[in-house]
Amino acid sequence: MNLTGVCCVLPTPFHAGGDIDHESLGRAVDLALRAEVDGVTALGATSEVGRLSDRERAAVVATVVGRVGRRVKVVVGTSADGVRRCIELSREAKAQGASAIMVSPPRLSRVNSETVISHYKAIAEAVDLPIVVQDYPPACGFAMEAGLLVRIAREVPAARTIKLEDPPTPFKIARILAAAGETRLSVIGGLGGVYLLEELLAGASGVMTGFGFPEGPVRICRHFRGGRIDEAAELFYRLVPLMRFECQEGIGMAIRKEIWRRRGALADASLRAPGAMLDEGTRTALDRLIAWTRAQPGTDWMAD
């Protein structure tokens, strides 16, 4: 699988912080598809996956796959600390119609390169699906060097897409692609898209983000792929203040869900406990920033 363009990480909506709101989840999928994304991701790190039961995880994937209807790729997060657990989740994702799975290294007290490679090999041997290797150290406590990521791609052909979230990401992307040589792999960015332009300039093929206005990254990537670098840069610089605000540690997911709510996708923006709640100061700052962004040239598509 060659994952390019924008893959939208979907939020998991709840009824006032309680049960999953599948109707809102369906509307979130619709919003992403209207933005003309190239794929969607269910059960990502910002989908509150750690607060879901196995039954709820399966229900989320069923809703997303059913709503997408094969119009775009569906990536499902199946990371787990145990390889058997990861394989179970990955097999279930495949049975439900996932296009690919996204997997971080297992969280262990003493993890090393050989353990990580063995983890991905075991998954690839057990599940016939492309694997997106998620390089996000906070999720697993282990930072993968460029050489290790290239080695995974060479030894595990199913795992030749990397979601890079270990800054400085543009520098690391350049190192990965230089080390890859003739090994074909693709690197996509994350981290809310805050380094998207620089990542594209370094050779990234796209981004996987849950940014509340996916139309923006879609346009940036299209401008860039069409050789309109200046247009891509101008739009990126207009959106990056909102991207930065949305990525605040501790309350970023609450801000993101509030944006999705304001856009009519979510009926309720609450997070499942223990999740952060937005204070009035943050809401006021968000109002001001969205209004400023909408007033910039070339952002008329934000009017909805």
Q: pLDDT tens digits, residue range 101-133?
A: 999 998 877 778 899 999 999 999 999 999 999
Residues belonging to the chain: 304
pLDDT at 89: 97
Q: pLDDT tens digits, residue range 209-265?
A: 999 999 999 999 999 999 999 999 999 999 999 999 999 988 999 999 999 999 999
DSSP lists the bridge partners of residue 164 as 135, 189
pLDDT at 112: 87
- In DSSP notation, 23-51 reads HHHHHHHHHHHHTT-SEEEES-GGGTGGG
Q: pLDDT tens digits, residue range 16-42?
A: 878 999 999 999 999 999 999 999 999
Q: pLDDT tens digits, residue range 137-151?
A: 988 888 899 999 999
Distance CA 211, CA 11 (A): 10
For residue 208, what is the enclosing H or E element?
Answer: strand 206-209
What is the chain's Cα-based Rg? Answer: 18
pLDDT at 304: 63
Burial class (CB in 10 A: 0-12, 13-18, 19+), 111: middle
CA of 38: how far to CAs of 71, 245, 274, in Å?
A: 9, 25, 32
The answer to whether the beta carbons of residues 160 and 187 sit under 8 Å apart is no
Q: What percent of the chain has pLDDT over 70?
A: 100
Residue 200 — φ and ψ, nearest 5°?
-60, -40
Secondary structure of residue 260 in the 3-state scheme: helix
Burial class (CB in 10 A: 0-12, 13-18, 19+), 291: exposed
Q: What 8-state DSSP symbol labels residue 273?
A: S
CB atoms under 10 Å from CB of 239, counted, come to 26
Q: Which domains can be identified in the chain, with CATH numbers?
A: 5-303 (3.20.20.70)
pLDDT at 253: 94
Region class of 36: left (phi > 0), else alpha (psi between -120 and 50), else beta: left
Sequence-ordered list of residues with C-beta below 8 angstroms from that of 76, at least 6 positions apart, any chain = 41, 42, 43, 61, 93, 96, 98, 100, 101, 102
Q: What 8-state DSSP symbol labels residue 147?
A: H
The answer to whether the beta carbons of residues 190 and 207 sit under 8 Å apart is yes
Distance CA 53, CA 69 (A): 24
Closest CA to 115 of 147, 144, 74: 144
Q: pLDDT tens digits, residue range 151-181?
A: 999 999 999 999 999 999 999 999 999 999 9
pLDDT at 146: 96
Q: Can you point out the beta strands (E) in 17-123?
A: 39-42, 73-77, 100-103
Report residue 276 as tokens. 């952060």
CA of 19: how far to CAs of 29, 168, 292, 297, in Å?
A: 18, 38, 35, 40
